[in-house]
Amino acid sequence: MADLVLTDVAKSYGSVNVLKHIDLDISKGELIVFVGPSGCGKSTLLRMIAGLEKITGGELQIDGMVVNDVPPSERGIAMVFQSYALYPHMTVRENMQFALKIARMPKAEIDERVEKAARILQLHNLLDRLPKALSGGQRQRVAIGRSIVRDPKVYLFDEPLSNLDAALRVATRIEIAQLKEAMPDSTMIYVTHDQVEAMTLASRIVVLAGGGIAQVGSPLELYERPENEFVAQFIGSPAMNLLAGEITATGDRTTIAVEGGGTAVSGVPSLAGDMGKKVNIGIRPEDFVETAEGAEHIFSGRVNITEALGEVTLLYFEPKGGDDPVIGKLQGIHKGLRGQTVRLSADPAKVHVFHDTQSLLYRDRPVKRITTKAH
């Protein structure tokens, strides 16, 4: 039922375009996460769906009805705000009743709905407390409860966990995931700048950057087959390494001569016409493996800093020129590698090839040039 369709949606403040050409189909039961660097417009897009910001171009449909000019309360949405936005002068119960009372719902039904939400969120003992007497996590649950009682078609979450401390954030994240499982028919849109939240919660992630959509896909799709350098570097931590090079052999596999001496073989197919093209190869730190001297390598360099995290060790190589340092992530503890020259290679399936910032895998799609840096 709750299909959400955005067609060429745009937002501008005067002559400043904040968002443009946003096309998105969201189907019922999905949990969509908007993720992107700060200032990419993800919260603005959510607020446009909520109706708190005016849509200045394009069309927004909910359930097949254009709602561009429909007030927020009639769109069938409910929103959970970053700072919870509980009404401080009302008890938890009154907070949850407010929207229903405004809608003049019969008292028995209001009580029933509040009861149900309190049961789902374990708010029973807190119903008669004021928000100031609640902890951050409890306030967040009340904010979610306030949405649930309205039984909306679409739930909107605006960075709901960013005001919680780290431990509580993990716990609440899991609660939200369970909540979604308990309400499989509800559609949820969730805004965050935290890619862990995005990866763990989303059925699909929408990466926003530079006022547009950089890529839409399932978390693993974004991780394994990023469409462009921005998404490649935005998803995953530490960010994917990009190394400049030139294509020297084409076909089902592509061979690239990497600047600085190495040779990379990628599982990405290329066309004969790609021969000699300047490209960037992308390899995630965790996909690097150490190779012996004499064997074929993609990258070699002197290790500047090591960070032993226990199960893995991060190797920061000496930066060449002004570039970001290449980072490798090796299993186990390798503290002794500091100051050593290390040679790295990778499985061809894990080597991404970007030409003109776009992955060769997606050569048929229109190029999205994103000028913002991922980190």
Partner 1 sequence: MNPALQGLLTIAIGVGACVGYFYFANQILDKVIFPARGPNAGRNINRANHIRPWLFLFPAIFALGLYLAYPVVETLRLSLSDREQGGAFVGLDNYSQMMSEPKFWEAMRNNMLWLIVVPAMSTAFGLLAAQLTDRIGWGNIAKSLIFMPMAISFVGAGVIWKLVYETRPDDIAQIGVLNAILAGLGGAPQTWLTIPFWNNFFLMIVLVWIQTGFAMVILSAALRGIPEETVEAAIVDGANPFQIFFKIKVPQIMPTIVVVWTTITLTVLKIFDIVFAMTNGQWETQVLANYMYDKLFRAGDWGVGSAAAIIIMLLVSPILVWNVHNARKEMR
Number of residues that bind partner 1 (CB under 8 A): 26
Closest of 239, 234, 237, 201 to residue 219, by C-alpha? 201
Q: Which stretch binds partner 1 (CB under 8 A): 44-52, 116-124, 194-202, 210-218?
A: 44-52
Q: Which is nearer to partner 1, 76 or 210 (CB)?
A: 76
130 near partner 1, rule: CB under 8 A: no
Q: CA gyration radius for the chain?
A: 24
**How far is Cα 248 from Cα 242, in angstroms, rounded to an integer?**
18
CB of 84 to partner 1, least distance (A): 8
Among 64, 69, 102, 292, binds partner 1 (CB under 8 A): 102
Q: Which is nearer to partner 1, 107 or 302 (CB)?
A: 107
50 near partner 1, rule: CB under 8 A: yes
76 near partner 1, rule: CB under 8 A: no
Whole-angstrom CA distances from 344 to 7, 203, 312, 333, 352 are 45, 34, 16, 16, 15
Q: Which stretch binds partner 1 (CB under 8 A): 59-67, 96-104, 266-274, 293-301?
A: 96-104
Greatest CA span in the chain, whole angstroms?
80
Q: Which stretch binds partner 1 (CB under 8 A): 70-78, 236-244, 352-360, 366-374?
A: 70-78
3-state SS assignment for residue 312:
strand
29 near partner 1, rule: CB under 8 A: no
45 near partner 1, rule: CB under 8 A: no
85 near partner 1, rule: CB under 8 A: yes
Whole-angstrom CA distances from 331 to 49, 250, 297 are 44, 32, 18
68 near partner 1, rule: CB under 8 A: no
Angle at 154 between CA 227 and CA 206, to 5 degrees: 10
Q: Which is nearer to partner 1, 77 or 281 (CB)?
A: 77
Contact status, residue 346 vs residue 268, Cβ threshold 8 Å: no
86 near partner 1, rule: CB under 8 A: yes
Q: Which stretch binds partner 1 (CB under 8 A): 66-74, 176-184, 291-299, 362-370?
A: 66-74
Among 5, 18, 99, 177, binds partner 1 (CB under 8 A): 99
Closest of 15, 33, 355, 25 to residue 192, by C-alpha? 33
Among 65, 87, 128, 319, binds partner 1 (CB under 8 A): 87
CA dihedral 230→232→236→238, nearest 10 degrees, is: -80
Tokens found for residue 219: 């978390």
How many other C-beta atoms lie within 10 A of the C-beta of residue 361?
Answer: 16
Q: Which is nearer to partner 1, 73 or 122 (CB)?
A: 73
Among 36, 41, 51, 328, binds partner 1 (CB under 8 A): 51
132 near partner 1, rule: CB under 8 A: no
Contacting partner 1 within 149-208 (CB under 8 A): 150
CB of 53 to partner 1, least distance (A): 10
Which residues, at least 6 apart from 257, have a Cβ–Cβ distance to it below 8 Å?
Answer: 245, 246, 248, 263
Q: Which is nearer to partner 1, 49 or 258 (CB)?
A: 49
**How far is Cα 71 from Cα 26, in angstroms, rounded to an integer?**
20
How many other C-beta atoms lie within 10 A of the C-beta of residue 198?
Answer: 24
67 near partner 1, rule: CB under 8 A: no
Contact status, residue 177 vs residue 198, Cβ threshold 8 Å: no
Site residues for partner 1 per CB under 8 A = 50-52, 71-74, 77-79, 81-90, 98-99, 102-103, 146, 150
